[in-house]
Structure formats: C-alpha cells, structure tokens
A and B are shown apart, each in its own frame.
Chain A
Amino acid sequence: MSQQLADVLVGTVVLASIYALVGIGIVILFRSTAVVNFAQGAFMVAGAYLFYWGLEDVGLSWPLALLLSMSAMAVFGALCYVTMFRRLVGFDPFILVIATLGLGVVIQTVVAVIWGSSVRIMPGVFSLAPIDLPGNLRITPSALFGVVAAVVLIAALDLSMLRTRVGVRMRAVADRTLLASFVGVNVHLVSASAWAISSVCAGVAGAAFALQHELNPLSINALGLVAFPAVLLGGMDSIRGALVGGLLMALIQNLVTTYIGGIWSDVSAYVVLLAILLVRPSGIFGSPTLARL
C-alpha cells in the first residue's frame, strides 16, 4: 500500500469516528424528539472546553476529565430539553431548527465569555507522534483515542439500546410517540435522556477532535455542521445510516483533501449534500414519507 493511500485510509477512519459520534447523537435526538439539532457543533465546543477545563484548570487526569465533561454534557442536554424544547413540542419543524440554531449561538456566546475566543492548544495528554503499524499504516495516539472513544461509546449505546429497558423505551418513543405514552412510557423522561445522550456524544466528539487538532470554537463548530451532510447521506432516521454516512463522507473528504486540496474538503461535503437531496432525500437507509390529502 502506498503511503498516501494508507494515510487516506487512516484519516478516513479517524474522521469517520468523529462523524459517527456526532451523527448518532443527531439521529437519536431526531428519532425520539423530531428535533434536528443544528447546535450539535456548539455542543461539541462545549464538551471540548469542559474537557480542557477539567484537564488544565481542575488538574484532573484525562479519564476523570472526560468523565466530568460527559456528565456535565448529559446534565446540560437534559436541561436543554426541560427548560426549552419541552415547551416547543408540536412546533413547526423549521422553527425547531431555528430554535436549535439560536441555542447554538447562546452556547457559543457563553463559551466565549468564559474562555474567550482565542484558539488554545490542548494539554499533551496523548502524543501527536504517529505510531507505525504494518502496511504503511500510521496513526497518532490522539487520533487513536478518538477512534477508541467512538467505538466504545457506540458499542455501549448499541448494547444499552438493545438490552436495557431504557433503551427499549427510547426506541418505542422513536417508533411511535403516542403509542409509547399509551403503554405507560414517560415520554418526557425519554426525551430528556435522548437530549442527554446526544449531548454526551457531541461532547466526546468535540473533545476527541480538539485533542487531534486544537481547541478552536470555529473549526469545531464547522465540523459539527458538516456532520449533517454525513448523516443525511445515510438517512436522518437510521443509526446504521449515520455510521455508513459518516464513513462515506470521511472517505470523500479525505480523498478530496489528498488529491485536490484541503481547502475543498468542506465544500465537497456540501456539494455531496445537494446531490443527495436532489437524488434521494431520504438517504441510503432512511425511510421515505408519503404525503396524504
């Protein structure tokens, strides 16, 4: 394998794991509450800064700092539902989109007020020197952290969604909200959990990305937005779709970066987005909906 191809492959897996985390958060939230969270990028920023705060200011070890960031994001996500989106149930979907955009602005403002808007370097928890693997493959420990975090978190989510009652309840609400409440499921509790899980996913993705690059609110937020084309590629309502879409989008962007130029990476994602929307808006795995009169 040529070095270039090997780097594309590793780069794809690393970026795909970030997209997968963000994307799963988007899908879980959309399926159980019908909210498309355009603030996912801002949630990533918040998670990354909380992680940074735990490491740098509180002086925790990285597992504890990650745990702190995750728990804080869970609480914050649940609060977003309880204080805001619970009151917006039944609103026009586009208004909900704008509400999340507004929420994103508020989060970014708060982050900027607390930490300022300058770019920071994350403490060197993991090395940025690549480890060589067989077949010309090489990966930095920081990037490896992102991949492992994504695999662990997604596996844990997958298991709990399939095996625990909470998971079954969440899937029930996602399938048929009204029926779930007839069956005695506390829809508010489930929705708050979905918000919490989605926020945790985004927060971990933000922390992982910051470790690989730098703590830059603008670039993290932009990444959160590119996750939408990735999710849409797979289908807004399919978890499997979020994973496959993330992988495909990461591959496309890595190929574009390597063979055309890094500056074209983000815009290629949006070109793909427009193409999917025109060809198959429901994505690869999504279910099309039928209009009735």
Chain B
Amino acid sequence: MTDVLAIEAVPAAEPEQPVGRGRARRAVLVLWAAAAVVCILLLTVGSDFQLFVSGFVLIYAIAAIGLQWLMGRAGQVSIGNAALIAIGAYTTAIVSDTSWGVFPVPVIVSAVVGGVVGLIIGLPALRLRGLYLALATLGLHFITVFAADRYQRNTGELFGLQVASPSLGPLDLADRRTFVAILMVLLAGLVLLLTNVYRFMPGRLWSSIRESELGAGAVGVPTVRWKLAAFVGSSAVIAVAGSLYAYYSRVVSVETFTLHFAISFLVMIIIGGVGSIVGALTGAILVTTAPYVLDSVANRLPAGGGFGDWLDSNIFHITNGLYGVILVFFLLYQPEGLVPALGRAGRWLSDRRRHVGAAEAKAEARPTPTEARETEAMPSRDDIVLELAGLGVRYGGGARAVDDIDLVVPRDSIVALLGRNGAGKTSVLRAITGFFRSEEAAVEGRVLLDGKDIAGATPTATSRRGVVLVPERDKVFPSLSVADHLRLAAPHGHVKEEIFDIFPRLTQRMKTPAGLLSGGERQMLAVAMAWVRNPKLLLLDEVSLGLAPILTRELLDRIVEINERDRIPVLLVEQNAKAALSIAHYAYVLESGRVVASGTPSELEFDPALTGAYLGTAP
C-alpha cells in the first residue's frame, strides 16, 4: 500500500521504540536473581532486627500488590485497604482460636472472607467512580473499624485479640526466621501468579477497563463482571496480608487499622509507580523501612544540642508522618513514581550509548523551521494586527490539527475562517490564545500580534495583551448574572454606557443568571462581554451555531457594529459560510488543517473550493 509508505516518510511523532522482548526478559531475570540473593542473605546472616523489619516489608508488599491489582490494573480506587487488612487479621485471630484453625486454614478462610467483603465493596463501584468511590470506601473503612472496636469491647479483649503461635507440621512458625522464609515464598508465588494473570487475557481486560470503562464496554468487555473480579481478587490478597500480619505480630487490635495505615499503602503504590508490581514492591520496601532508617540515623547523630537532639526528641512523630513527607516529595518531583522513572533513565542511558552519533547527524541535517522562514523575509506592515506564519498545532499523541497556515488579520477588518467541523478552525483560534500546559498541545511557527511573537504564551498572558476569544461552547458562566459578566470583563469593573445601545436585549436581563438565558441571549452576552474588554483582537468561534437564522442575522449586525464604531479587528471562525461571508472583508477556507482557498467574499462565493471544502468535491 502506497499510503502507508507516504505516512512513514513523514517524521511526525516518531513512535518510541518499545523495549525488545529479549531485553525485558533479561531485566526480569536479573531482578529475580537479585531478590533471591537478598532473601538468602537475610535468612542466613541477617540480624534479628533486620529479619523483624523484613517480615513487615514482606507482609505489606503482599497488601500493596493486592492494592496495585485493583488500582494500577483495573483502575478502581479504594481507601478501604486498611479495613480489608483488619478483616483478614480479625478473621485469623478468631479462626485460629478454634480447634480446626491450624496454620494454613485461617489464612485461607481470611482470603475467602476478604473476597466476599471485596464483592460487597465492589457493588458501589458498579455505580460510582473516582472520587465518589473513594468516599464510599472511606465509609466502609470507618464502619469496619467501628465494628472491630465493638467486637473487642463486647468480648472484653480491650487490648486486642491474641493469636496462637502457628506451627506447620514439624515447623515452628513462631520462629521468626522460618516465618519470614515462608513469607518470602508466598510473596514470590503471588508475584509469579499475578504476573501470569496480567500477561494473558484477564490482564488485557482489566487494562482496558482502567483506560476507559465506557470504551471497554463498547468494544465488548463485560465491565461489571471484570470490575467485580478485580475487587474480589485484590481484596482476597489484601486480607491474606492481614492474616499474615496477625500471625506475625501475634496480637490484633483496632488501633493499628487507622486511616493513616490505609493511606500508607496508597503511598507505597504511588511512589513506586502505580502501573507495575515492581513499583508496588519498591514502594512497600521504601515506606516500610524509611522510619527504621531514620530512627537509626537519629541514633547515630552526635548527642548534645542542635539537630541531633531535636530529631531524637521528635523521632516518634516524625517517623509516624514520614510517609506523608515522602508522598508529597514524590508527587511534586517524581509524580509518575520511582520505577517508571528508573526504567526510563535506564533506557535513556542504553539508547544514548548506541545512538549518540546518529542523533547528532540528524539534528544537523534538519534546518529549524524559523530559520527556513527567515529567508523569505515577510515585510512588516503597521496595518496588520495578527499574522500567523507557518502555524502548526499538534495534540498529545501526535494528532496534527493544523498544518503550516499563513493568515493575516489587517487592522479594522473582519476576517472569516471557514471550513467544516474538524477542519482545524478552533485549533487555529486556540493557538492564537495559547494553550495551558495541561492541554498537551504543541504550537509550531509564529503568532505575531502587532509584530510580536506570542506563540506558546498561556491564555492568561494573551488575554492581557488584548486577545479576546468567544469560545464555541461554554461561553458564559451559568451561575453569574449578566451584570456580573460585564463587571468581570470590564477593565476596571466599569462598564461603558454604550453597551445599552449596542446590546439592548441584555439590559432587560441584567440580574438573570446566564444559565437561564436563551441560546441567542447567551451568544449576545458572550459577544458583549468580549466587547466590554476593549479587545485589540476579537476571536469568535462559531457564533451562529445552533441559532435560528433571524438571531444569527442580529448577532452578525452587532459584530459589524462593534467592528465599525470601535475599530475592533475580528477573526470569525464559522461553519456557516454564507453568514460569515456576508460580513467578512476577507476569508480563508480551511480543509484538513490547511488553507485551501482564500479571497474576498465575492471571489470566494463562486470558488468551487468553498463548496468543495464542505461537500468534499475538492480534488
């Protein structure tokens, strides 16, 4: 297919080369080997204290991996994980007290109970998303903790439930070394099993739900069933962690399961990188060991005065809140998490070694667009308000909306930009007003306002320079009254008297919230609000959209009026070509992000390119 070749020749958005399968597999093997070495060292030469800490790291890692299943894989949020750990722990404490509660049985019962509770937590998730789901799980957290507290009071176990020391055949699991070894095996097994699950169909289905629930349903994924499956599975894993916690600490008490405890697991998977099991593991290690590390640092600092003393006397509070500090630090400086950042750094290093020569050669061969244009030497004219030179706009992943547009708005004139929906008109306007960083748009070429290049400025900055846009939708503030709109827009809160001559319709509606205005009145208000600001350049996006012809006419008359009496230049973007041409001095026709025709209205009226751009008869 020739088209394919043509596309690949364009160097647009060169796709990031995916990591080769062989390389990824090697990295995984190295990680496993390193983990095995660390585990063996801990079990053979590790101090009792190191073993003690590793036990918690391993248990919390299991919980974090369970949470990562739900959040990172299936994209569901939950603050209910401390409650689930509590459920596993209490189940274990209760079951291990019975005659049949010998070691693995309570863990399995906990998993089942956790799964059932997960199903219950999952039910609200069928209706709720994001924030509301988070609040629902927060409610469940408090209700569980309350129930646990009541249970302890009613049974008289005010200081917590004791858990019998576990044994498995000849193995005494109360021995820390043995129990930690078992935890290592369990964690390794869990990682292996889940890695497999994610590799095959279930993993794909959960990923699709995480990416877009609506979209997943539309491509045929039964989202309800798979969401519930993620809740059940993840909750069972977290409850198992709770069960192991009960065995490890030998006492289960409600004070452990605070909201802070729940947050610390969210912190683990966020700082590790929410997308991967390795991230959850890394986060669990970091968050669990950090207080101990800080503690030992504090102990080693010289006593007597200064920082050492301060740290020593406050160490309890600081280690308690340390995960909060770690979280805030990561959100600000490494928001994607540690593991993805390390992975990228690793790839960057190896790519650099290989491609450093090639990249440099490439950079030299391609002249920068501005240099190329400078030679064409456009004469600077005083009667031009806005000039677009080689303007291009590209969004996020590489969708190119506008390509190499040249356009001029002379002083005092009305210029129309025509074309059907999707031709790139709105993108041209937004390139003039500027984008916010969060919009992930890239602007190429130059946007000259009074000869000064404003390409890349933010909407706030361009609006200070006098560029005023009336957007296509959401053009008024629904809860603000008409008077508030004008007051907001007027330079010093002072609205010019003439407003009542130009927009008589609005004067009767001064106290009405804009949300209650009719479509035509909203449009009129939006234009009035723009006019009040004394714009240097007025940009209008689809002002006629959805209006009856008679209202369109009235609106166009107002636009002509403010253009003539206040000499405000207007760039009018319109799908309704006839309407726009009736008032414009000059017009450009846009098709697929490029200008396909331009001229005065009379020239364009008979230009086949115009109807072509709409009805597709253009070559």
Q: Which residues of A contact B (CB under 8 A)?
A: 36, 84, 87-91, 93-95, 97-99, 101-106, 108-110, 112-113, 117, 165, 168-169, 171-172, 174-176, 178-188, 225, 228-229, 232, 236, 266-267, 270-271, 273-274, 277-278, 281, 291, 293
- Name the distance in Å between B476's Cβ and chain A's nearest Cβ: 8
Q: In this assembly, does B254 line the interface, its C-beta being within 8 Å of a C-beta of chain A?
A: no
CA distance A172 to B529 in the complex (A): 13
Besides the known contacts A99-B328, A176-B474, 9 further A-B residue pairs in the complex with CB atoms under 8 A apart: A95-B335, A102-B263, A178-B459, A178-B471, A183-B489, A188-B460, A267-B142, A270-B139, A271-B143
- Name the distance in Å between A230's Cβ and chain B's nearest Cβ: 12
Q: In this assembly, does B487 line the interface, its C-beta being within 8 Å of a C-beta of chain A?
A: yes
- Chain A residue numbers with a CB within 8 Å of B323 are 102, 105
Q: A106-B321, A171-B480, A184-B463 are in contact. Are A270 and B143 (CB under 8 A)?
A: yes
- Name the distance in Å between A242's Cβ and chain B's nearest Cβ: 15
Chain A minimum-CB-distance residue to B146: A267
Q: In this assembly, does B246 line the interface, its C-beta being within 8 Å of a C-beta of chain A?
A: no
Q: A89-B438, A274-B139, A277-B128 are in contact. Are A182 and B459 (CB under 8 A)?
A: yes
- Chain A residue numbers with a CB within 8 Å of B436 are 90, 178, 181
CA distance A252 to B79 in the complex (A): 25
Q: In this assembly, does B134 line the interface, its C-beta being within 8 Å of a C-beta of chain A?
A: yes
Chain A minimum-CB-distance residue to B326: A102
- Name the distance in Å between B76's Cβ and chain A's nearest Cβ: 10
The A interface, classified by DSSP as helix, strand, loop or mixed, is: helix
B484 touches A168 (CB 8 A): yes
- Chain A residue numbers with a CB within 8 Å of B320 are 109, 112
Task: Flag B308-332 by CB within 8 Å of A: 1 or 0 each.
Answer: 0000001001101101110110011
- Name the distance in Å between B124's Cβ and chain A's nearest Cβ: 6
- Name the distance in Å between A8's Cβ and chain B's nearest Cβ: 22
A98 touches B270 (CB 8 A): yes
- Name the distance in Å between B328's Cβ and chain A's nearest Cβ: 5
B331 touches A95 (CB 8 A): yes
Mind listing 29 A-B residue pairs with CB under 8 Å? A84-B328, A88-B331, A89-B438, A90-B436, A90-B437, A98-B266, A98-B270, A99-B331, A101-B259, A103-B328, A105-B327, A106-B325, A106-B328, A110-B321, A165-B488, A168-B487, A171-B477, A172-B488, A175-B479, A183-B468, A183-B489, A184-B460, A184-B463, A185-B460, A187-B460, A228-B138, A274-B140, A291-B214, A293-B218
**Which residues in chain B, 135-174, are within 8 Å of chain A measured between CB atoms?**
135-136, 138-140, 142-143, 146
- Name the distance in Å between A135's Cβ and chain B's nearest Cβ: 35
Task: Flag B105-135 by CB within 8 Å of A: 1 or 0 each.
Answer: 0000000000000000000100110111011
- Name the distance in Å between B271's Cβ and chain A's nearest Cβ: 10
- Name the distance in Å between B317's Cβ and chain A's nearest Cβ: 4
Q: From the candidates B324, B437, B463, B487, name the one contacting A105 in the complex (CB within 8 A).
A: B324
**Which residues in chain B, 421-438, are within 8 Å of chain A measured between CB atoms?**
433, 436-438
**Which residues in chain B, 390-427, are within 8 Å of chain A measured between CB atoms?**
none
- Name the distance in Å between B240's Cβ and chain A's nearest Cβ: 24
- Chain A residue numbers with a CB within 8 Å of B493 are 165
Chain A minimum-CB-distance residue to B491: A184
- Name the distance in Å between B67's Cβ and chain A's nearest Cβ: 12
CA distance A90 to B331 in the complex (A): 13
- Chain B residue numbers with a CB within 8 Å of A93 are 130-131
A112 touches B317 (CB 8 A): yes
- Name the distance in Å between A250's Cβ and chain B's nearest Cβ: 18
- Chain A residue numbers with a CB within 8 Å of B87 are none
- Name the distance in Å between A263's Cβ and chain B's nearest Cβ: 8
Chain B minimum-CB-distance residue to A228: B135
Chain B minimum-CB-distance residue to A186: B460
A273 touches B214 (CB 8 A): no
- Chain B residue numbers with a CB within 8 Å of A95 are 270, 331, 335
CA distance A225 to B318 in the complex (A): 23
A172 touches B477 (CB 8 A): yes
- Name the distance in Å between B462's Cβ and chain A's nearest Cβ: 9
B136 touches A274 (CB 8 A): yes
